[in-house]
């Protein structure tokens, strides 16, 4: 069991190497991180620095070569593939740069999909999804297909999908990377509001220093190493 004072998320000596055209590429080279429950963490780093790899390891989509990934007292690296998939579906909400909505499903079907896969759709969850859809200003679009929506609208739907099943934490991979300034601001503000008021921990990969400014913890990935800073310090030295 997790003790109250334990960090919500701990990474210990996490390593990941990919083989690319016969060459080894060390993407994570002994990454350590402690994240408090309810924190908003941003991960800065140039393209190819390993931000997505790190988020995928935290979210149980990928596994590290070595090291520990402790989330709310559970060690993800000790789980079988099946249990890791179950953990991910039940406890992780994901928001992607390219929205990743399924084009053949309606907005409502997309939103309920993670819970459908887990067999946990019930009246309460449907109601919660409706409330969230209303909060992002799209309650009249539930029967629409994604292609009829703008990028900003698709990302607002993806936020609802990430949160409807009440995940333990939320991972956002450059969620505003494909949006104009106005839509970026709206998507970011919704994501922050909705995760904060539910007390959920949010980890976000981003290039955007204005986003990092709002984080409780700013991390930088470079050369396989992760350094952490308070938001103010990271931005002073950019």
Q: Per CB under 6 A, does 206 bind ligand ADP? A: no
* Beta-ladder partners of 172: 95, 204
Mask for 39-68, x = binds ligand ADP (CB under 6 A)? ------x-xxxxxxx---------------
Q: What residue 27 binds from ligand ADP, Mg ion, none (CB within 5 to 8 A, per partner kind)? A: ligand ADP
Count other Cβ atoms within 10 Å, centred on residue 238: 9
Q: What residue 20 binds from ligand ADP, Mg ion, none (CB within 5 to 8 A, per partner kind)? A: ligand ADP
Question: Between 96 and 169, whose beta carbon lies closer to Mg ion?
Answer: 96
Q: What residue 161 binds from ligand ADP, Mg ion, none (CB within 5 to 8 A, per partner kind)? A: none
How many residues are recorded in the chain? 238
Q: Find the shortest distance in angstroms from Cβ 174 to ligand ADP.
A: 8
Question: Between 25 and 124, whose beta carbon lies closer to ligand ADP?
Answer: 25
Residue 53 phi/psi, 5-degree rounding, is -55, -45
Long-range CB pairs of 131-137 (<8 Å, 24+ gap) are 132/159, 132/160, 132/163, 132/164, 132/194, 133/107, 133/108, 133/157, 133/160, 135/190, 135/194, 136/160, 136/190
Q: In what order do the strands lie in the sheet with 74-75?
A: 23-35, 9-20, 66-71, 74-75
Please work out the total of residues on this chain that contact ligand ADP, with binding judged by CB under 6 A. 12
Question: Between 150 and 222, whose beta carbon lies closer to ligand ADP?
Answer: 222
Q: Find the shortest distance in angstroms from Cβ 173 to Mg ion.
A: 6
Q: From the centroid of its chain, how far is CA 119?
A: 22
Count other Cβ atoms within 10 Å, centred on residue 189: 11
Chain residues that interact with Mg ion, rule: CB under 5 A: 51-52
Binding stretches for ligand ADP (CB under 6 A): 18, 20, 25, 27, 45, 47-53
């Amino acid at each position: 069991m997790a003790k109250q004072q334990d960090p919500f998320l701990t990474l210990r000596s996490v390593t990941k190497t990919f083989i690319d055209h016969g060459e080894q590429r060390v993407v994570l080279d002994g990454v350590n991180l402690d994240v408090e429950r309810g924190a908003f963490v941003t991960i800065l780093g140039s393209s190819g620095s390993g931000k997505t790899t790190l988020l995928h390891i935290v979210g149980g989509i990928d596994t590290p070569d070595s090291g520990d990934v402790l989330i709310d007292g559970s060690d993800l690296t000790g789980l079988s593939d099946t249990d890791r998939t179950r953990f991910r579906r039940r406890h992780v909400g994901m928001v992607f740069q390219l929205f990743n909505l399924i084009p053949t499903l309606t907005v409502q079907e997309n939103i309920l999909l993670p819970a459908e896969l887990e067999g946990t759709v019930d009246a309460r969850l449907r109601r919660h999804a409706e409330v969230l859809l209303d909060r992002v200003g799209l309650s009249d679009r539930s029967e629409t297909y994604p292609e009829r929506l703008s990028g900003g609208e698709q990302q607002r739907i993806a936020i609802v999908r990430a949160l409807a099943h009440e995940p333990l934490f939320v991972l956002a991979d450059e969620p505003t990377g494909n949006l104009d300034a106005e839509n970026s601001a709206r998507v970011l503000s919704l994501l922050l509001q909705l995760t904060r008021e539910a007390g959920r921990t949010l980890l976000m990969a981003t290039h955007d220093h204005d986003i990092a400014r709002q984080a409780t913890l700013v991390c930088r990935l470079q050369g396989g190493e992760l350094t952490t800073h308070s938001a103010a310090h990271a931005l002073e030295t950019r």
